[in-house]
Amino acid sequence: MTQTLENKSVLLVISGGIAAYKSLELIRLIKKAGGAVRCILTKGGEQFVTPLSVSALCEEEAYTDLWSLKDETEMGHIQLTRDADMIVIAPASANLIAQMANGLAQDLASTALLASDKPAIIAPAMNVRMWENPATQANIAKLQEYGHTIIGPSEGDMACGEYGMGRMLEPEEIFAALTSAPQKKTENAAKPLAGKTALVTSGPTFEAIDPVRFIGNRSSGKQGHAIATALQQAGANVTLITGPVSISDPAGVKTVHIETAQEMLKACEDSLPADIAVCAAAVSDWAPKQHEQKIKKRGDASPPHIELNENPDILKTISNHKNRPSVVVGFAAETENLEDNAKAKLTRKGCDMILANLVAQEGAEVFGQDKGHIYCVTAASVDNWQPMSKSAIAKKLTDTIISSLDETETIKSAAE
């Protein structure tokens, strides 16, 4: 991944939110990486950071006014987005998001963004209820559909005293999204997975018992999301299919949100054909026969009986699909007989590689943790990867997939 923004010009839009102070650090990171930053402050943004601080850090005027004769003569509002290689909106308030989703041009920021045909990276920041409001969620869905990338928000304590989703990502995370944003075609073509498509499953599935209860598990999605990011950074066109998680969608990755195993299977089949499939999701093995109404307590009567049906095996389905990807990878959690169990799973599922987590040992994978101890099992070998971070596992898996694709292609061209 390129950490440099040498010769890149970034247009940063700062709208109203306490998180605006973090954008000052973002300007510093962009400048340090060699990028130039121009900044538009909305009226709300100006309540949290001053044009003076912003322009001192940017070493350039901070733009605030649509009707400024001086600004319009020197740098028209259309030129602001025209000149930018990248546009980032941080913090993106609920109001600015709504303006963008609905094509409104009410101030300099919304007018400049409406006059732009470039995809923007949007880092929302707002109160949890504003974020969860169906109107905001519909606006976010629209912006994604228009090709913008939404990063965050994350979960945590909020300035207003509430807790939940709505915190803007940290400046380092926004900077990482900028440096990993899809590069121009020529830059991307040099990457090892350029032109390849990948699908990755991640997170848990939730299977409804009744309208308010479900069977789920504690999968955080960290490993699957890290794999989607690593494949994207290697140049692949990635679709991530994820169950409900509290981490944000990876930058530059098309992310499909599902709840049940059936929905995950459908989204996977819709994403085929693909060159690579990695099934990292913790799919619930069973789904309850769903009750239409909430199950009520029945006095002294015995607890309700929940009938379970087996869920489809997504990894097995992809491995045996008529549009089977060239490389199919599955995961396994093993506490004993790792090699034998993983090899048996490899055959049973029909995939090419199983990343077996040794869960009984120190440093091993536990749901939600940042490290894992992987054994990479193929029909021909078992490779101990030693305990490492989930992003390092993702990178190592990506390298292994690249070698495996190279081998397949060499064999194919030798046979032709």
Cα 231 versus chain centre, distance: 12
Q: 252: exposed, middle or buried (C-beta count within 10 Å: 0-12, 13-18, 19+)?
A: buried
Residue 279: CB minimum distance to ligand CTP, A: 4
The answer to whether residue 160 is catalytic is yes
364 binds ligand CTP (CB under 6 A): no
CA distance linking residue 156 with residue 368, whole number of Å:
16
Residue 391: CB minimum distance to ligand CTP, A: 19
Rule CB under 6 A: which of 266-305 touch ligand CTP? 279, 281, 283, 285
CA-based nearest residue to 86, from 169, 170, 165, 151? 151
Taking the alpha carbons at both ends of the chain, their separation in whole angstroms is 35
Catalytic residue among 39, 160, 268, 376: 160
Instruction: Please choose, out of 27-35, 171-179, 215-223, 324-332, the segment that lies near ligand CTP by the rule CB under 6 A.
Output: 324-332
CA distance linking residue 61 with residue 188, whole number of Å:
33
Residue 400: CB minimum distance to ligand CTP, A: 15
166 binds ligand CTP (CB under 6 A): no
Sign for the CA dihedral angle at 365, 386, 277, 137 comes to positive
Instruction: Please choose, out of 77-85, 118-126, 231-239, 308-316, the segment that lies near ligand CTP by the rule CB under 6 A.
Output: 308-316
94 binds ligand CTP (CB under 6 A): no
Instruction: Please choose, out of 2-10, 28-36, 122-130, 310-318, the segment that lies near ligand CTP by the rule CB under 6 A.
Output: 310-318
313 binds ligand CTP (CB under 6 A): yes
**Residue 75 or 245 having the CB closest to ligand CTP:** 245
How many CB atoms sit inside 10 A of residue 80's CB? 24
CA distance linking residue 247 with residue 313, whole number of Å:
25
Q: Is 368 left (phi over 0), alpha (psi -120 to 50) or beta?
A: left
268: tokens are: 């996977």
Residue 323: CB minimum distance to ligand CTP, A: 16
Strands 214-215 and 207-208: antiparallel
Q: Is 178 left (phi over 0), alpha (psi -120 to 50) or beta?
A: alpha
365 binds ligand CTP (CB under 6 A): no
Count of residues that bind ligand CTP according to CB under 6 A: 14
261 binds ligand CTP (CB under 6 A): yes
Which residue from 57, 315, 327, 358 is in contact with ligand CTP, where contact means CB under 6 A? Answer: 315
111 binds ligand CTP (CB under 6 A): no
Structure-token match 């292609």, residue found: 409
Which residue from 45, 166, 330, 372 is in contact with ligand CTP, where contact means CB under 6 A? Answer: 330
206 binds ligand CTP (CB under 6 A): no
Sign for the CA dihedral angle at 270, 178, 7, 59 comes to positive
**Residue 50 or 337 having the CB closest to ligand CTP:** 337
SS3 374: strand
Cite the active site residues. Answer: 160
Residues that bind ligand CTP (CB under 6 A): 201, 261, 279, 281, 283, 285, 311, 313-315, 330-333
